[in-house]
Amino acid sequence: MPLLEEYARQAEILPRNENDLYRSIREWVVAEVDKKIVGMGALLIMWHDLAEIRSLVIDPACHGQGLGRQIIAMLLDDARKLGLPRVFALTRKPGFFLKLGFQLTRIEQLPRKVKQDCVFCPKFHACDETAVIIPIKEGASHSMAMGALLDNSVSAPNIIPLEVAPGISIP
């Protein structure tokens, strides 16, 4: 997917190959406008009580339109429906997540993440990401009103699971 590839080239996210996407297709949601993916993110279940938001990327032309917030809201709603009490992310933009109710945490508080992924990262000993976490309250919805988030001059995106994105194929 071009959007993921571009962010991986910039070392903003870890590279994801086609096989990775197909294996994890049910974890992904996308924002699409006119059959073009303009944002995406995934929710990876790490353990019975913890999930990770990963690879959140937004087309630079769409920054500031609320797409990241909408994707996060959908992923948090998925976590709530699955009964997961906590969701975390590793990010270089902690301020974005803090505005959405996440709290700073220490990577040492996420040993499963360290064991499963971090030890394989080339930046493991010089990590430049900040860990953030949010408790998921049962019965609470994280959905946000689309109109309040989007610039009215652009087409409203569909935020949908990648596996059902119409007319979009993984190259």
Q: What is the pLDDT of residues 78-123, one digit of tens each?
A: 999 999 999 999 999 999 999 999 999 998 888 777 767 776 677 7
Would you say residue 171 lies in a domain? no
Question: Own/partner pairs for 123-128, CB < 8 Å, 24+ apart?
Answer: 127/90, 128/92
What pLDDT was estimated at residue 144? 42
What pLDDT was estimated at residue 168? 53
What pLDDT was estimated at residue 44? 94
22-71 pLDDT tens trace: 888 889 999 998 888 999 999 999 999 999 999 999 999 999 999 999 99
Inform me whether the pLDDT recorded for 130 exceeds 60. Answer: yes
Structure tokens at 89: 């992310």
**What is the CATH classification number for the domain harbouring 28?**
3.40.630.30
Would you say residue 161 lies in a domain? no
Would you say residue 149 lies in a domain? no
Contact 157, 73 (CB under 8 A): no
Q: Which residue has the tokens 């990876």?
A: 44
What pLDDT was estimated at residue 140? 54
Residues 6+ apart with CB under 8 A from 152: none
133-148 pLDDT tens trace: 999 987 555 544 333 3
Contact 127, 107 (CB under 8 A): yes
Contact 71, 59 (CB under 8 A): no
Q: Give the range of the structural domain holding residue 25, as residue numbers without chain letter.
A: 2-141
10 Å CB burial of residue 34 (0-12, 13-18, 19+) is: exposed
Would you say residue 159 lies in a domain? no
Q: Give the chain's domain count.
A: 1
Instruction: Tell me which of 6 and 166 has the higher pLDDT.
Output: 6
Instruction: Tell me which of 159 and 45 has the higher pLDDT.
Output: 45
Contact 70, 159 (CB under 8 A): yes
Inform me whether the pLDDT recorded for 76 exceeds 90. Answer: yes
Would you say residue 85 lies in a domain? yes
